[in-house]
Structure 1
Amino acid sequence: MNISASQSQLLRQLNIRPLQPRAGFFPEALINTQCAPDNSNDMVALQQPPNSLLTDDIKRMLTLTTITDWQLDPTASVCSLTNNNTSLITPALALLQQAALKKQLWILLQSLQVDDAD
């Protein structure tokens, strides 16, 4: 985390220390991984999401929608729906940490929320 001298001074004056990410938030498979293309296999299989706090949050949100299946596509760069909007395909969790992709996912899921007002 790069912070300016004035930001650092303010943090010291307010007695605030920046938080370090906790390993519990990230699944072990994502720690110290690099997103490098693998040319050895042209067809990449979809994967089940590993256990993590982010995965739990997404699964909780999925229960409010009509989506019944969620898989990761390591080659994907955006979130998409398939099978008549019942399957969610997302990039790897490491990419979903990016604010733009996370926002796209939440907007997509919010648009599919089941209306319980019936």
Structure 2
Amino acid sequence: MEGDPFSGVNNGTQVDGKMLQTFKKNFVQVQNILDQNRLLINEINQNHESKVADNLSRNVGLIKELNNNIRKVVDLYSDLSTSFSKSMEVSSEGDSSGAVKSDGKGGQKRLRPT
């Protein structure tokens, strides 16, 4: 799919389709919130430049909305990070390719793919 940021994700790694859909959904949500934030910031700037009392007082609510949106983005990225970490743990546990190999010293050594 052209323009799809996830089109090359499955190159040699097994990616769960449901997990990929969750990533896509979350990234779309993040992008929508960021687009909304851009509009809010533009309106806040216009209100500030106008120096009209009503516009300046409206900025208080707009800035609160902007802060809430930023919290949502942080939460979404946190959820994505957690989901990604969990999927990598599951992926590495089920990996029979020998990507993780004991070095004989009680530790684990990661091998680079050739």
TM range (shorter): under 0.3
Q: TM-score, normalised by structure 2?
A: 0.27
TM-score by length of 1: 0.27
Structure number with larger C-alpha Rg: 2
Identify the structure with the greater strand proportion: 1
